[in-house]
């Protein structure tokens, strides 16, 4: 399972607008944003990594004008963390990832006064992104680049779902990366503050996951940011499966 999840990360980064391959690493770079949560690297599962590879990776990040940063499943590169910390990298977070298969998905009852659907126009995409930004404490205004990025993800086979109230307000949403070898990452599950504690996050998660399984995805995976989200995802049928590391160099 770890190898399949890690390979899906490699595929996701390889699909960025300007990916860079550096020895055993893939850097996913996007010229339209400097966000380290979009521009980061990961190792190919099972690859041998040396201190020289890490030095070359840092050089490539500097050349691209991006912060050197990695996210990866730890078991797929067990010696890498030591090489990175020796080079000055600092651990940002350690997360457990959770997985769901078609047989374990649990769909909650439909919510009153909320519709879940995929955004089909740029204004709808902007509303979804704005709700996500607001829920995560950012600027609630979506840029043209944000909208174009979501459109590109949908065009490549990714999923986006928005939750809309009867008065047309986008209460939240989320999405999933284009599937790779039957695996897709679910991410960005967000609910605006006035609509929390009503089961909406679970409904969004289950709806995205169902859409993935409807097109043949075998494994959906995600990460929980805290105990509350962990419970939401477990109620939707997700189960802990492995460990991932976030690590960066200032």
Each of the 250 residues of the chain gets a pLDDT tens digit; together they read: 999 999 999 999 999 999 999 999 999 999 999 999 999 999 999 999 999 999 999 999 999 999 999 999 999 999 999 999 999 999 999 999 999 999 999 999 888 899 999 999 999 999 999 999 999 988 889 999 999 999 999 999 999 999 999 999 999 999 999 999 999 999 999 999 999 988 999 999 999 999 999 999 999 999 987 778 889 999 999 999 999 999 999 8
Residue 242: closest CA among 91, 78, 97: 97
Give the 3-state secondary structure of residue 154.
helix
Record the pTM: 0.94
By 3-state DSSP, what share of the chain in percent is helix, strand and coil, each rounded to 5? 35, 30, 35
On whether the CB atoms of residues 141 and 130 are closer than 8 A, the answer is: yes
């Amino acid at each position: 399972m770890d190898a399949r999840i890690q390979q899906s990360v490699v595929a996701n980064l390889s699909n960025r607008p300007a990916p860079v391959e550096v020895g055993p690493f893939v850097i996913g770079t996007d010229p339209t944003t400097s966000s380290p949560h979009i521009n980061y690297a990961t190792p190919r599962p099972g690859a041998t990594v040396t201190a020289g590879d890490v030095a070359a990776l840092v050089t490539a990040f500097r050349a691209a004008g991006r912060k050197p940063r990695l996210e990866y499943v730890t078991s797929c590169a067990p010696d890498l963390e030591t090489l990175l910390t020796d080079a000055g990298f600092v651990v940002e977070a350690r997360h457990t990832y959770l997985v769901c298969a078609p047989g374990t998905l649990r769909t909650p009852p439909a919510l009153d006064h909320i519709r879940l659907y995929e955004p089909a126009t740029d204004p709808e995409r902007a509303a979804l992104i704005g709700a996500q930004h607001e829920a995560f404490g950012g600027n609630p205004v979506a840029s043209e680049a944000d909208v174009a990025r979501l459109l590109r993800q949908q065009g490549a086979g990714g999923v986006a779902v928005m939750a809309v109230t009867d008065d047309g307000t986008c209460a939240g949403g989320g999405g999933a990366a284009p599937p790779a070898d039957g695996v897709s990452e679910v991410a960005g599950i967000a609910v605006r503050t006035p609509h929390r504690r009503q089961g909406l996050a679970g409904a969004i998660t289950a709806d995205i996951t169902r859409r993935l399984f409807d097109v043949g995805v075998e494994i959906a995976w995600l990460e929980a940011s805290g105990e509350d989200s962990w419970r939401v995802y477990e109620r939707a049928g997700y189960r802990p499966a492995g460990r991932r590391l976030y690590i960066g160099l200032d």
